[in-house]
Amino acid sequence: MLKPDEFFHIVIAIIVSAFVLSFLQGSEKFLTSLFYSFLIIFAAVFLKKLAAYYFETDIRHKTWHWQRFWFAPSSYFKIPIPVGILLPVVLSLLSLGYAQWLAFLQFDSRPLKEKSAKKHYGARFSELVERHLAFIATAGIFGSIILTIIASIIGAGELAKISIYYAFFNILPISHLDGTKIFFWSWRLWLFVLALLIASWILLVIPFG
pLDDT digits (tens, 9 = 90+) for 70-105: 555 666 667 788 999 999 999 999 999 999 999 999
Give me the pLDDT at residue 129, please. Answer: 76
Tell me the mean pLDDT in the region 164-187: 95
Q: Are 157 and 151 in contact (CB under 8 A)?
A: yes
What distance in Å separates the CA atoms of residue 18 and residue 117, rounded to the nearest whole number? 42
Give me the pLDDT at residue 127, please. Answer: 45
What distance in Å separates the CA atoms of residue 14 and residue 38, rounded to the nearest whole number? 6
Give me the pLDDT at residue 126, please. Answer: 46
| Extended strands (E) in 69-208 | 76-81, 105-111, 119-120, 123-124
pLDDT bin (cut points 50, 70, 90) of residue 118 is low
The pLDDT tens digits of the residues spanning 2-54 come to 888 999 999 999 999 999 999 989 889 999 999 999 999 999 999 999 999 99
Taking each helix axis from N to C terminus, what angle separates 129-153 and 187-200, rounded to the nearest 10 degrees? 10
The pLDDT tens digits of the residues spanning 123-144 come to 444 445 788 999 999 999 999 9
Residue 138 one-letter amino acid: T
Instruction: Write the CA distances from 99 to 11, 96, 120, integer angstroms.
Output: 22, 8, 44
